Amino acid sequence: MKVLVINAGSSSVKYHLYQMPQAEVLARGVVERIGEETSKLSHFFQSKTHTAQTKVEDVEKAMELILKTLASRDVGVIQGISEIGAVGHRVVHGGEEFTGSVIIDEKVIASVKKFADLAPLHNPPNLAGIQAVQRKLPGTKQVACFDTAFHATIPKIAYMYGLPYELYEKYGVRRYGFHGISHRYVARRAAAIMGRGKYDINAVTCHLGNGCSITAVKQGRSVDTSMGFTPLEGVPMGTRCGDLDPAILFYLADKGYDVKSLKILCNKKSGLLGISGVSNDVRNLEELAKKGNTRAKLAIDIFCYRIKKYIGAYCAVLDKVDAVVFTGGIGENAVFLRQQICTSLTQIGVQLNRAANQAAIAPVPAQPQVQAKEAEINTKDSRVKVFVIPTNEQAAIANDTYELTREKQAIMSKQNHKHTAPLSKPANKRAY
């Protein structure tokens, strides 16, 4: 089965076409700068690169371009779009309704719309991608894979805030967590590397990119995570502030800041950018720090310190820790940052192998078709394993999509063979 994986955002649509169950990537790419005068398509296939510039007004037009490219005579990898057997979508927010990936029906679409209030920048374009596929590939099964679903196992003591309980009942104010597809993938890869079952590992997984989150994984399930009601909570990020005293916002409101300006301040002007005053890119900050820029160094030091605090806290939550995992753009690439974090974790049993850490370097940007390598970067006598595991959310989505649609087809085939009544409507929840 050929499975198309879609990650639709407000200004870009990323795609991967897989041959399943082999998990072979036939093609991948991205349509960027959607809605601007000139949009860009980058298409990677058979060790080749194809780029094109054209105007793409919205997600629907981006999907048209993607499907046309995949079936193109010159740069395509399929004879026609009818070869696509199923489509999997990354959907950011599933609220409390979804504990895993699900086949998309009208009820699921209604829920994605409903939770747009909780993820206004993400769920609407995610939904636009789903609806575009409905129109372009009618009858093709689609699967929604929720970023929040892996965190559905977090207990109430971890997801409730110290606010009036009726705010949870009335508005759903609670910790949801994000990056769940990534945390699930790397936790299970760590278990596999260690020769364990997916539910036989306790780990602290660190997804570090422009957005960052840390998750406590107990017996393969999320039991706490740093992002909360929104992706703003947790460690300082590229431009997000992370944890802070909420009274700071009241204080700034008294100084004349309105709600809109506070949102921009916390989401777009804070974190590494706000502290350093120059950049949200760790690579730039490292170079500037080496040249004596004290605020760049301060931004890095704060970032590492907060990550260490979360790792330490989650070690207390887990009691026993088998592994610490680094993933995401920063986690996979920032050698110096991993070293700075891990050298202060000896008290929890982490012993870093500096040579192995130095060797665990992702490919250069000029080779985007090359996947970063997995690496174990602890010493032999380290009580806790330390891994660098490149996240592969699209592979996880492709696998879920394949398994769910194959399962559905098998049930339907069995029913038709037995000449029984039509299958009743499937439940829209599936546990991992």
Q: Indicate which residues carry an active-site annotation.
A: 147
For residue 132, which of 46, 56, 209 has the smallest C-alpha distance? 56
How many residues belong to the chain?
A: 432
Token pair of 388 as six digits: 């660098």
Of 150, 154, 18, 32, whose CA–CA distance to 92 is shortest? 150
Helix then strand then coil, in percent of the chain rounded to 5, is 40, 20, 40
Q: CA separation (Å) from 173 to 95, 110, 379?
A: 10, 20, 43
CA 268 to chain CA centroid, nearest Å: 19
Q: How many CB atoms lie within 10 A of CB 426?
A: 15
Q: How far does Cα 232 stand from its chain's mean position?
A: 14
User: How far is 29 from 8, CA to CA, in rounded Å?
Assistant: 12
Backbone angles phi, psi at 142, to 5 degrees: -125, 150
